[in-house]
Amino acid sequence: MSRLFGTDGVRGLANRDITVELALDLSIAAAHVLGDADRRSGRRPRAVVGRDPRASGEFLSAAVVAGLASAGVDVHDVGVLPTPAVAFLTADMGATFGVMLSASHNAMPDNGIKFFAEGGHKLPDAVEDEIAARIGQEWDRPMGAEVGRIQRNRAGQARYIAHLLRTLPNRLDGLTVVIDGAHGAASAVSPEVFRLAGADVVEIGTDPDGLNINDGYGSTHLDRLRAAVVERGADLGIAHDGDADRCLAVDASGTEVDGDQIMAVVALALKERGALRENTLVATVMSNLGLLQAMEREGITVKQTGVGDRYVLEEMRRSGFSLGGEQSGHVILLDHGTTGDGVLTGLMLAARVVETGRSLADLAAVMTRLPQVLVNVKGVDKGRVETDVELLAAVRAEEEALAGTGRVLLRKSGTEPVVRVMVEAESEERAREVCDRLCGVVRERLAL
Active site residue 104: yes
**CA nearest neighbour of 377 among 349, 411, 345, 405:** 411
Mention every residue, 6+ apart, whose C-beta is less than 8 A from residue 245: 82, 83, 84, 104, 309, 330, 339, 340, 341, 342
The H-or-E segment that residue 266 falls in is helix 259-273
Active-site entry in 56, 61, 104, 322: 104
273 contacts 336 by C-beta, under 8 angstroms: no
Q: What is the DSSP string of 172-238?
A: -TT-EEEEE-TTSTTTTHHHHHHHHTT-EEEEES----SS-TTSS-STT--HHHHHHHHHHT-SEEE
Give dist(CA 331, CA 222) in Å, integer: 18
Dihedral of alpha carbons 296, 403, 325, 168, sign:
positive
Q: What's the burial of 329, exposed, middle or buried (CB within 10 Å: 0-12/13-18/19+)?
A: buried
89 contacts 78 by C-beta, under 8 angstroms: yes
Helix (H, G, I), strand (E, B) or coil at 249: strand
Count of Cβ atoms closer than 10 Å to residue 444 Cβ = 13
Count of Cβ atoms closer than 10 Å to residue 94 Cβ = 11
The DSSP symbol for 279 reads G
Count of Cβ atoms closer than 10 Å to residue 246 Cβ = 30
Q: What is the DSSP string of 383-448?
A: GGTTT-HHHHHHHHHHHHHHTTS-EEEEEE-SSSSEEEEEEE-SSHHHHHHHHHHHHHHHHHHSB-
Give dist(CA 258, CA 280) in Å, integer: 19
Q: What is the DSSP string of 330-393?
A: -EEETTT-SS--HHHHHHHHHHHHHHHT--HHHHHTTS-PPPEEEEEEESB-GGGTTT-HHHHH
| Residues known to be catalytic | 104
